[in-house]
Amino acid sequence: MALACGGRATLSRAAASLLGTRAASATACSVAPRLRSGRSTSSPGVTPLTRKGSDAGTANAAWVSNVATCNVSRRQLSSRGGDVDYSSLMAGPGTALHDDIMESAARKQTGVSLKTLIDTGRGDLLSGEMGLTGQDSLSTKQKMLIQVASFLHRELPIRLAHRVRDLESVPDMLAQKSVQQVREWYVISYEEIRKFPRPVTVDEEVRFAELLKGIYQRHAPVLLTMARGVWELRESFGPKDASRRGAKNRFGDFYDFERTHTFLDGFYMSRIGIRILIGHYLALQEAGADSWIGMVCQETSPAAIAEAAIEDAKFVCTRQYGDAPDVTLHGRLDLTFSYVPSHLHYIMLELIKNSMRATVDFHGLDEMDNNPIRVVIADGEGNEDVVIKVADEGGGIRRSYMTRIWSYLFTTADPAVQEGFINLGEVESDHAKESPLAGLGYGLPISRSYARYFGGDLSIVSMEGYGTDAFVHLSRLGHHSEPLP
Ligand SMILES: Nc1ncnc2c1ncn2[C@@H]1O[C@H](COP(=O)(O)OP(=O)(O)OP(=O)(O)O)[C@@H](O)[C@H]1O
Ligand SMILES: [Mg+2]
59-73 confidence digits (pLDDT tens): 232 222 232 233 333
Q: Count of domains in the chain?
A: 2
The pTM is what? 0.82
Residue 94 and residue 59 in contact, taking contact as beta carbons nearer than 8 Å: yes
Question: Do both 190 and 334 map to the same domain?
Answer: no
Question: Do both 380 and 298 map to the same domain?
Answer: yes
Question: Do both 311 and 205 map to the same domain?
Answer: no
- Report the alpha-carbon distance of residue 38 to residue 359 in Å, rounded: 60
How far apart, in Å, are the Cα atoms of 484 and each of 162, 234, 273? Answer: 10, 26, 8
End-to-end, the C-alpha distance of the chain in Å comes to 40
Residue 275 placed within a domain? no
Residue 404 and residue 410 in contact, taking contact as beta carbons nearer than 8 Å: yes
Summarised one tens digit per residue, pLDDT across range 377-390 is 997 777 889 999 99
Question: Do both 199 and 345 map to the same domain?
Answer: no
How far apart, in Å, are the Cα atoms of 445 and each of 263, 342, 437, 459? Answer: 12, 17, 16, 10
Give the gyration radius of the chain's Cα atoms.
Answer: 23
Residue 430 placed within a domain? yes
Summarised one tens digit per residue, pLDDT across range 233-254 is 888 776 654 444 444 455 667 7
218-252 burial, b at 16+ Cβ within 10 Å, e below that, comes to bbbbbbbbbbbbbbbbbebbebbeeeeeeeebbbb
Residue 429 and residue 220 in contact, taking contact as beta carbons nearer than 8 Å: yes
pLDDT beyond 50 at 14: no
Question: Do both 213 and 296 map to the same domain?
Answer: no
Residue 301 and residue 5 in contact, taking contact as beta carbons nearer than 8 Å: yes
Say what the pLDDT of residue 297 is.
95
pLDDT beyond 80 at 327: yes
Looking at the CA of 435, name the nearest ligand: 1
**C-beta of 394 in contact with ligand 1 (< 6 A):** yes
Looking at the CA of 418, name the nearest ligand: 1
Question: Do both 323 and 471 map to the same domain?
Answer: yes
* Strands 292-293, 457-463: pairing kind: unpaired
**Which domain, by its residues, includes 389?**
292-475
Residue 249 placed within a domain? no
In the reported structure, the alpha carbon of residue 198 is separated from the centroid of ligand 2 by a whole-number distance in angstroms of 42
- Domain endpoint, select from 173, 199, 219: 219
The enclosing domain of 382 has a CATH number of 3.30.565.10
Say what the pLDDT of residue 372 is.
97
Residue 405 placed within a domain? yes
Say what the pLDDT of residue 59 is.
29
Position 9 confidence tier, pLDDT thresholds 50, 70, 90: very low
Please give the number of the atom of ligand 1 that sits closest to the Cα of 444: 18
Please give the number of the atom of ligand 1 that sits closest to the Cα of 446: 18
Say what the pLDDT of residue 30 is.
22
**C-beta of 216 in contact with ligand 1 (< 6 A):** no
Say what the pLDDT of residue 276 is.
96
Question: Do both 61 and 162 map to the same domain?
Answer: yes
Say what the pLDDT of residue 149 is.
97
Please give the number of the atom of ligand 1 that sits closest to the Cα of 438: 26
* Phi, psi angles (nearest 5°) of residue 394: -95, 25
**C-beta of 408 in contact with ligand 1 (< 6 A):** no
Position 401 confidence tier, pLDDT thresholds 50, 70, 90: very high
pLDDT beyond 80 at 290: no
pLDDT average, residue stretch 123-148: 81
SS (H, E, C) the chain: CCCCECCHHHHHHHHHHHHCCCCCCCCCCCCCHHHCCCCCCCCCCCCCCCECCCCHHHHHHHHHHHHHHCCCCHHHHHHHHCCCCHHHCCCCCCEHHHHHHHHHHCCCCCCCEHHHHHHHHHCCCCCCCCCCCCHHHCCHHHHHHHHHHHHHHHHHHHHHHHHHHHHHCCHHHHCCHHHHHHHHHHHHHHHHHHHCCCCCCHHHHHHHHHHHHHHHHHCCCHHHHHHHHHHHHHHHHCCCCHHHCCCCCCCHHHHCCHHHHHHHHHHHHHHHHHHHHHHHHHHHCCCCCCCEECCEEEEECHHHHHHHHHHHHHHHHHHHHCCCCCEEEEECCCCCEEECHHHHHHHHHHHHHHHHHHHHHHHHHHHHHHCCEEEEEECCCCCCEEEEEEEECCCCCCHHHCCHHHCCCCCCCCHHHHHHHHCCCCCCCCCCCCCCCCCCCCHHHHHHHHHHHCCCEEEEEEECCCEEEEEEEEECCCCCECCCC
Say what the pLDDT of residue 354 is.
97
- Report the alpha-carbon distance of residue 236 to residue 41 in Å, rounded: 29
Residue 22 placed within a domain? no
Position 256 confidence tier, pLDDT thresholds 50, 70, 90: confident
Instruction: From 349, 354, 375, 419, give the residue whose CB has the most ligand 1 atoms within 8 Å, as the site to mutate.
Output: 354
Looking at the CA of 436, name the nearest ligand: 1
**C-beta of 354 in contact with ligand 1 (< 6 A):** yes
Residue 312 placed within a domain? yes
Question: Do both 197 and 335 map to the same domain?
Answer: no
**C-beta of 422 in contact with ligand 1 (< 6 A):** no
Question: Do both 335 and 189 map to the same domain?
Answer: no
Of 250-259, 349-358, 470-479, the range with the highest mean pLDDT is: 349-358
Say what the pLDDT of residue 460 is.
98
* Strands 337-339, 467-475: pairing kind: unpaired
Of 36-50, 62-76, 174-188, 416-430, the range with the highest mean pLDDT is: 174-188
Instruction: From 444, 450, 458, 469, give the residue whose CB has the most ligand 1 atoms within 8 Å, as the site to mutate.
Output: 444
**C-beta of 166 in contact with ligand 1 (< 6 A):** no
Residue 165 placed within a domain? yes
CA nearest ligand 1 atom 1, residue: 355
- Domain endpoint, select from 193, 219, 245: 219
- Report the alpha-carbon distance of residue 299 to residue 292 in Å, rounded: 8
Question: Do both 151 and 66 map to the same domain?
Answer: yes
pLDDT average, residue stretch 104-121: 94
Task: Please state, as a whole number, how many other Cβ atoms lie within 10 Å of the Cβ of residue 345.
Answer: 24
- Domain endpoint, select from 219, 250, 265: 219
Say what the pLDDT of residue 425 is.
64
- Report the alpha-carbon distance of residue 452 to residue 472 in Å, rounded: 10
In the reported structure, the alpha carbon of residue 464 is separated from the centroid of ligand 1 by a whole-number distance in angstroms of 14
Query: In terms of pLDDT, which residue wins out, 62 or 455?
Result: 455
pLDDT average, residue stretch 210-218: 97
Geometric angle at alpha carbon 159, from 167 and 173, rounded to 5°: 10
Query: In terms of pLDDT, which residue wins out, 90 or 47?
Result: 90
**C-beta of 441 in contact with ligand 1 (< 6 A):** yes
In the reported structure, the alpha carbon of residue 327 is separated from the centroid of ligand 2 by a whole-number distance in angstroms of 17
Q: Go through the chain and tell me how many residues it has.
A: 485
**C-beta of 442 in contact with ligand 1 (< 6 A):** yes
**C-beta of 405 in contact with ligand 1 (< 6 A):** yes
pLDDT beyond 90 at 428: no
Q: Report the percent of the chain where pLDDT is more than 70.
A: 76
Please give the number of the atom of ligand 1 that sits closest to the Cα of 436: 26
Looking at the CA of 440, name the nearest ligand: 1
Position 23 confidence tier, pLDDT thresholds 50, 70, 90: very low
- Mean pLDDT, all residues of the chain: 80
Position 11 confidence tier, pLDDT thresholds 50, 70, 90: very low
The enclosing domain of 178 has a CATH number of 1.20.140.20
Question: Do both 182 and 330 map to the same domain?
Answer: no
Question: Do both 213 and 114 map to the same domain?
Answer: yes
Least confident residue range of 233-237, 287-291, 327-331: 287-291
Please give the number of the atom of ligand 1 that sits closest to the Cα of 437: 26
Q: Report the percent of the chain where pLDDT is more than 90.
A: 57
In the reported structure, the alpha carbon of residue 211 is separated from the centroid of ligand 1 by a whole-number distance in angstroms of 37
Position 438 confidence tier, pLDDT thresholds 50, 70, 90: confident
Residue 300 and residue 263 in contact, taking contact as beta carbons nearer than 8 Å: no
Of 89-103, 229-243, 409-423, the range with the highest mean pLDDT is: 89-103
**C-beta of 104 in contact with ligand 1 (< 6 A):** no
Residue 258 placed within a domain? no
